[in-house]
Structure 1
Amino acid sequence: MGQSFSRRDLFKLGGVAAASVAGASALAGCGAKSAEAKGYGGATTTGTTTEAGHFRDGLPGFLANKPEPITKIAEERDYDVVVIGAGSPGVPCALAALEAGASVALLQKEAEASAHGNSGSGIDLENSDPSHVAHLIGQLMTDSQHRPNRALIEMWAQNSGEAVKWVIEKSAAGGAQVIDQGNAQHMPLIKKFGYNMSFVTSFFGPKPYCVGDGMKAMCKQAESEGVEIFYSTPAKQLVTDKDGRVTGVIALMPDHTYVKFNARTGVVVASGDYQNDEEMLKYYLPDLQYLDQKQHGRTGDGHKMVVWAGGCIEDFGHTKMLHDFDAGPASMCDMPFLRMKMDGERFCREDTEMSLMNCYLRSEKDRGNYIEVFDSAYMEKAAAFPGKLVDPEGLRVYMPEEDVERKAVIPTMIGTYKADTLDELAEKLGVTDVSNFKKTIARFNELCANGADVDFGLKPDYLKTIDTPPYYGIHRHVRMSALCSGVKVNDDLQCVTPEGEAIPGLYAIGNVAGGFYGGIDYPLTVFGLNLGHNYTQGYVLGKRLGAM
């Protein structure tokens, strides 16, 4: 199975594997459904294929079940560029293409723009040492286990400062609440490596305001400049010509008629990840089956359409992003306070990043939940901890029991508590075994007194007793923020076949595109990297297509 198959070889194999690579039909959706495709592992052909992200016989059901070709077209509309998805990569792409001279249609399956997060980062090249920029590119390669396409990281590094500045300007023109935070979020990185670097950091906020609101504002600006946006209009099928070039997309309009959007220059797929498609999630990231999703509507539509047009999904080892920056202060989420599962059992060395906690909490019992515990002397005891402490008064906005104005938080996601006794704290946190909870704290205090953690090896500087009431606890619940793996693209963000051949007229950006990451978990090397790379890919590709 280790060999490579050409298009001709796949045609000889027949079935869906051949049809999806060849793209020879007028519509990418052409081809009969296979009755054998059942469940996420259902095989539909006997030929070897790599479209699904690895060598296998046949395609899984969610890729094999190509829809019948849509032939009842109510109308055709002509544009230079058609963008699928009004999110953090798609909206910048559409507007950048328009400003570069293209006529643009932006299709969004939801009733408004949709995105999440707050910060998006880029490099201010004019105020950065080029050798340090190169080092950061190498560090991002290292932190993604050396699997990314370096050219895509370089695209971000060389263009992101300009792109993020532009996103700030355009979204602000549309009325967004956005500022440039500069280096504020990046000082730990700068200090760690001694970088002479500056960043441009867009921040849409404060919470609950987020980049989703920012993209709605940017859509207003885009429409005012001439981008035609079609809401509640999901893309259904890519259109290909006899040579396999993607020439447009068929979408379902709000009145339930089909319209073919012809694209003279190209179709850009920017439809987000697949976390809400149960079959895809079980297939590519089965270890997340008991962890919850934060987003909605991320059903892998773009991934499937690209595969049906001849493309392929990147190799197994997909990158996941699971965070909880909301239960307590984000600046304290990586601090090495005592951590326990909900049954009161200590489970990791506490200087492990919050972004990796999901790896410990994948079971049906845990479901991404854990607690952090410290006492009322934490401002002194934890003064040298990495991050930034928030004082007791500042913690009150994260406490459901406190009657305060909730500023810069998402009220439904806060989970910080205070109690005079450990029994009371355990009850508030939802601990299932209070006796074990108190036993674990007693053991931790014993290790602190001895100055050596013989259980997990936490550094002595981080061993701080929990013995001064009132006591504090944070109940964190890590959930899927994004899945950061997608279809294979080349250095120019053009979708490719399993053999690496570019598919004319078809591009992918953002979390539907692969190659930028590669590790098991999303790297927090650069705060706001994912949104920054989304903006940059959209901006760079939009400008390029608009100028064609």
Structure 2
Amino acid sequence: MSRFAPVMRKLHKECEEKGAQIFLKTECKKILQAEDGSVRGVLAVGEDGVEYEIKAKCVIMATGGFMGRKDLLKKYFPFYEEDFFGFYVPNMGDGLTLAEEAGAALEGHATLVRETCHSSDAMKEHFLTAAAREPNTMWEETSGRNLQIGANAVLSQPGKKCFTLYDDNLVQEIVDYGYLVPRYPNKDENKQFKINLQEVATRKEWVIQSDNWDEIAEWIGCDAAVLKASVEEYNSFCAQGYDETFVKDRRYLKPLLKPPFYAIKFGVMVVETCGPVRVNENLEVLNKEYQPIPGYYSAGVIVAGWQGHDCNGEHLFGSELGFSINSGRIAGENAAKYALGKEAK
């Protein structure tokens, strides 16, 4: 269950207590407008095919993103690959169609929020994702050179994949003390980390285990001399306590010295889309002349202009909730003022 579910249950209860009608499994098909373009309601269809024409002075559109639409993902994000992984809700971007048909302006770009990193697709192997993101490891490009953390850096690699390197000492640290960046609430999982890692490594799909860097370089597909030189340089930085290349926090400078060594392959994890419906500060949907469409409001991730077009990093799941809640509040306040004939401030 989502950890946000209690919030939604609370909101649902308050809506019912205040007399709101909630239509489940009912799809909005059209924003109804008067001749002057102002909103006068919506046309919706229930699961049983029954149509509802709901009259309203204003409408707030909060339909979520479009993670379920591969065509839109390809349109807005040319770098998108269908094997990108993510725990997201596959919304179909219905709001984009509704907005366009109502004369709304859509920006020519949107944002695909993404983070590093994701390893094996098998849920029972999610420990690989946790292991790949540990800060005291070494990241490698497909060329065998040291890499700084970041989803965009991974996307720039051939195959959009990179590698995390471990030695036996680092593996044992997780067994003894757990992950430095705990992501999954299983306090005993780390005790089985070495056993699980070695078991998965036998397949050589997401992990390889070897006593020498030459075999690991062959699996990665890079020049062994380049990989070994990169590891030697990194180890020297660990010894002196200063990373001359990326100025990595010295707390996490741990050398790779004790075999067996491991390489874990990983890619990016996608979170959500943001945009591209254009709004103003009152969350009023704008037309192609940048003027508000009277009575039409929008909130949540479908709204453009609140998130940078290059949002990537670490631990971004849930990062859209703050804006979604607050934009919904602002849109609701202004929609209520509009319905009551009061001017939004």
Fold similarity call, TM over 0.5: yes
Partner of 1:418: 194
Task: Say whether the 8 Å CA contact 2:115–2:314 is kept in structure 1.
Answer: no
TM superposition score normalised by structure 2: 0.72
Q: Structure 1, residues 241-297: CA drift from partner, whole Å, max 9, x if none?
A: 100011111111121111112112x11111011222222222211111345253343
Q: CA deviation at 1:228?
A: 1.7
Among the aligned pairs, what percent are the same residue? 20
Q: CA deviation at 1:542?
A: 1.7
Partner of 2:291: 501
CA distance in 2, matches of 1:325, 1:222: 38
Partner of 1:339: 139
Partner of 1:377: 169
Consecutive unaligned residues of structure 2, counting only runs of 5 or more, are 119-125, 210-214, 239-243, 341-345
Partner of 1:444: 230
CA distance in 1, matches of 2:169, 2:66: 44
Please point out which of 285, 292, 299 is paired with 2:77. 285
CA distance in 1, matches of 2:4, 2:265: 25
Corresponding residue pairs, total: 312
Partner of 2:54: 261
**Letter in structure 2 aligned against 1:349:** L
Partner of 2:245: 457
Structure 1 vs Structure 2 CA RMSD: 4.3
| 1:544 to 2:334 alignment | yes
TM superposition score normalised by structure 1: 0.48
Task: Say whether the 8 Å CA contact 2:300–2:324 is kept in structure 1.
Answer: yes
Q: CA deviation at 1:435?
A: 4.5
**Letter in structure 1 aligned against 2:91:** R
Q: Structure 1, residues 472-522: CA drift from partner, whole Å, max 9, x if none?
A: 665544232101122110111101112111100111111111010233224
Query: 1:448–1:270: structure 2 CA closer, same or farther, 3 Å change rule?
Result: same
SS at structure 2 position matched to 1:283: helix
Q: Structure 1, residues 58-93: CA drift from partner, whole Å, max 9, x if none?
A: xxxxxxxxxxxxxxxxxxxxxxxxxxxxxxxxxxxx
| 1:359 to 2:155 alignment | yes
Task: Say whether the 8 Å CA contact 1:269–1:509 is kept in structure 2.
Answer: yes
Task: Say whether the 8 Å CA contact 2:34–2:40 is kept in structure 1.
Answer: yes
**TM alignment of 1:472-487, pairs within 5 A:** 475-487=265-277
**TM alignment of 1:383-422, pairs within 5 A:** 392-395=176-179, 407=185, 418=194
Partner of 1:384: none
Partner of 1:491: 281
Query: 1:525–1:422: structure 2 CA closer, same or farther, 3 Å change rule?
Result: closer
Partner of 1:349: 147
**Letter in structure 1 aligned against 2:218:** N
CA distance in 2, matches of 1:543, 1:339: 47
CA distance in 1, matches of 2:36, 2:9: 37
SS at structure 1 position matched to 2:325: helix
Partner of 1:229: 22
CA distance in 1, matches of 2:237, 2:116: 30
SS at structure 2 position matched to 1:465: coil
**Letter in structure 2 aligned against 1:377:** N
CA distance in 2, matches of 1:272, 1:374: 39
Q: CA deviation at 1:298?
A: 1.7
**Letter in structure 2 aligned against 1:323:** E
CA distance in 2, matches of 1:434, 1:377: 17
**TM alignment of 1:73-222, pairs within 5 A:** 209-212=2-5, 214-216=7-9, 218-222=11-15
Please point out which of 491, 516, 522 is paired with 2:306. 516
Q: CA deviation at 1:545?
A: 2.6
**Letter in structure 1 aligned against 2:230:** F
Partner of 1:169: none
**Letter in structure 1 aligned against 2:46:** M
**Letter in structure 1 aligned against 2:135:** M
Q: CA deviation at 1:236?
A: 0.9
**Letter in structure 2 aligned against 1:487:** V
Q: CA deviation at 1:225?
A: 3.9
Query: 1:370–1:451: structure 2 CA closer, same or farther, 3 Å change rule?
Result: closer
Query: 1:325–1:340: structure 2 CA closer, same or farther, 3 Å change rule?
Result: closer
Partner of 1:4: none
**Letter in structure 2 aligned against 1:543:** E
Task: Say whether the 8 Å CA contact 1:319–1:522 is kept in structure 2.
Answer: no
CA distance in 2, matches of 1:499, 1:523: 35
CA distance in 2, matches of 1:423, 1:408: 19
Query: 1:371–1:215: structure 2 CA closer, same or farther, 3 Å change rule?
Result: farther
Please point out which of 322, 327, 332 is paired with 1:532. 322
Consecutive unaligned residues of structure 1, counting only runs of 5 or more, are 1-207, 381-388, 400-405
CA distance in 1, matches of 2:315, 2:85: 23
Q: CA deviation at 1:222?
A: 3.0
| 1:305 to 2:101 alignment | no
Partner of 2:62: 270
Query: 1:391–1:423: structure 2 CA closer, same or farther, 3 Å change rule?
Result: closer
Query: 1:271–1:426: structure 2 CA closer, same or farther, 3 Å change rule?
Result: same
**Letter in structure 2 aligned against 1:269:** M
Query: 1:259–1:321: structure 2 CA closer, same or farther, 3 Å change rule?
Result: same
Please point out which of 414, 423, 429 is paired with 2:206. 429
Query: 1:300–1:358: structure 2 CA closer, same or farther, 3 Å change rule?
Result: farther
Task: Say whether the 8 Å CA contact 2:27–2:44 is kept in structure 1.
Answer: yes
